[in-house]
């Protein structure tokens, strides 16, 4: 089944060395799958493509749970596809289901040394020492060295934001490839910057509220008002407007209502009262 020297099939006998032993040399990604599940068969070629693309920087091991049920149970695999990442004999991360490729890359990049890492570390050190200009130059150099590393543009955007260069940060992130824009942190930063820029150019709140009173479907007014509320740290009012946008038009500004709410949930945390209040309402609005 495996068609790459970086992709191997596990057996009862070779699993300890194949996975645990090799994880001392580098990350090992273990795909628990079954030929009976369609999502497994769709995910498999994507993982093989990643293994080939990374050219030996990690090992991909396939575990057929129909044949190796005891191993799956030992590692608490209760559904497939499940992908577990091993390093130094330990599970360091688990992905349940067929997440986007960007999520697998993000996990891998945490455990794989990259050519740009030294420049990236020097940039962050310069930033910590208050030398923003040197940090910016080093991040640009790192981005040119490693254009597929999402951590670099994310940190460069944060540096620009700290200097008040919101439009430049937004332009940087929205110019990235679609795969990088799918990265969770970059997606959140873009959404955050969307609101900041919208608030800066928004009409006065009283005028926006009047427009909404006259036309409840004036989603541009609701969006601008949500942005103004967010900048003023009025999360409750902002979430209420975003929820109304979701209810009225999912397509507005590329689903900004849902994206904005999810970004705020992530920022506040799962147990925050506003998250527990608005997440169920968002789920109801989506269905």
In percent, how much of the chain has pLDDT > 70?
99
Average pLDDT value for the chain: 92
Cα–Cα distance, 117 to 247 (Å, whole number): 44
Residue 187 lies in a domain: no
Whether the per-residue pLDDT at 83 is higher than 90: the answer is: yes
Q: Sheet with 90-96: list strands edge to edge.
A: 7-9, 59-64, 28-33, 82-87, 90-96
* Range scoring the smallest mean pLDDT among 105-119, 190-204, 215-229, 253-267: 105-119
Q: What pLDDT shows up at residue 115?
A: 74
Segment 210-238 mean pLDDT: 96
Identify the CATH number of the domain in which residue 81 sits: 3.40.30.10
Cα–Cα distance, 16 to 26 (Å, whole number): 15
Segment 213-234 mean pLDDT: 96
Whether the per-residue pLDDT at 277 is higher than 50: the answer is: yes
Residue 57 lies in a domain: yes
pLDDT higher for 268 or 208?
208
Q: Domain tally for the chain?
A: 3
Whether the per-residue pLDDT at 46 is higher than 50: the answer is: yes
Residue 196 lies in a domain: no
Residue 195 lies in a domain: no
Q: Are residues 82 and 129 in the same domain?
A: no
* Range scoring the smallest mean pLDDT among 37-46, 103-112, 204-213: 103-112
Whether the per-residue pLDDT at 160 is higher than 60: the answer is: yes
Angle at CA 183, nearest 5°, toward 219 and 46? 120
Whether the per-residue pLDDT at 82 is higher than 70: the answer is: yes
Q: Are residues 89 and 122 in the same domain?
A: no
Q: What pLDDT shows up at residue 120?
A: 87
| DSSP strand pairing (82-87 vs 90-96) | antiparallel
Q: Are residues 97 and 138 in the same domain?
A: no
Residue 208 lies in a domain: yes
Range of the structural domain that residue 237 is part of = 202-286
- pLDDT tens, position by position, 87-115: 989 998 999 988 888 889 888 888 887 77
Residue 33 β-bridge partners: 64
Residue 30 lies in a domain: yes
Chosen domain end from 61, 92, 111? 111
Q: Are residues 12 and 93 in the same domain?
A: yes
Residue 91 β-bridge partners: 86
Q: Are residues 154 and 235 in the same domain?
A: no
User: What string of H, E and C letters represents the secondary structure of the chain?
Assistant: CCCCCCEEECCCCCHHHHHHHHHHCCCEEEEEECCCCHHHHHHHHHHHHHHHHHCCCCEEEEEECCCCHHHHHHCCCCCCCEEEEEECCEEEEEEECCCCHHHHHHHHHHHCCCCCHHHHHHHHHHHHCCCHHHHHHHHHHHHHHCCCCCHHHHHHHHHHHHCCCHHHHHHHHHCCCHHHHCCHHHHHHHHHHHHHHHHHCCCCHHHHHHHHHHCCCCHHHHHHHHHHHHHCCCHHHHHHHHHHHHHHCCCCCCCHHHHHHHHHHHHHCCCCHHHHHHHHHHHHHHC
Whether the per-residue pLDDT at 2 is higher than 60: the answer is: no
Whether the per-residue pLDDT at 19 is higher than 70: the answer is: yes
Q: What pLDDT shows up at residue 174?
A: 94
Q: What pLDDT shows up at residue 100?
A: 87
Quickly state the pLDDT bin for 3 (edges 50, 70, 90): very low
Residue 238 lies in a domain: yes
């Amino acid at each position: 089944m495996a068609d790459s020297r970086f992709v191997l099939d596990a057996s009862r006998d070779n699993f300890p060395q194949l996975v645990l032993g090799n994880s001392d040399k580098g990350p090992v990604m273990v795909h628990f799958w079954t030929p009976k599940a369609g999502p497994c068969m769709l995910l498999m070629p994507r993982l093989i493509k990643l293994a080939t693309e990374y050219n030996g920087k990690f090992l991909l091991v396939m575990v057929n749970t129909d044949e190796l049920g005891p191993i799956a149970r030992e590692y608490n695999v209760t559904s497939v596809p499940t992908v577990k990442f091993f390093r130094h004999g330990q599970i360091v991360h688990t992905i349940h289901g067929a997440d986007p490729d960007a999520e697998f890359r993000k996990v891998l990049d945490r455990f794989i040394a990259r050519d740009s890492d030294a420049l990236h570390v020097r940039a962050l050190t310069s930033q910590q020492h208050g030398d923003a200009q040197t940090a910016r130059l080093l991040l640009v150099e790192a981005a040119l060295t490693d254009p597929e590393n999402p951590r670099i543009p994310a940190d460069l955007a944060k540096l620009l934001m700290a200097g008040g260069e919101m439009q430049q940060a937004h332009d940087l992130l929205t110019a990235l490839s679609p795969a990088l824009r799918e990265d969770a942190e970059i997606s959140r930063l873009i959404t955050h910057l969307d609101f900041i820029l919208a608030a800066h150019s928004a009409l006065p709140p009283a005028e926006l509220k009047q427009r909404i009173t006259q036309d409840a479907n004036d989603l541009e007014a609701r969006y601008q008002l949500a942005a103004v509320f967010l900048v003023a740290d009025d999360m409750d009012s902002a979430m209420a407007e975003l929820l109304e946008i979701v209810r009225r038009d999912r397509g507005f500004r590329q689903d900004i209502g849902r994206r904005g709410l999810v970004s705020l949930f992530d920022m506040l945390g799962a147990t925050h009262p506003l998250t527990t209040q608005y997440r169920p309402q968002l789920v109801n609005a989506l269905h």
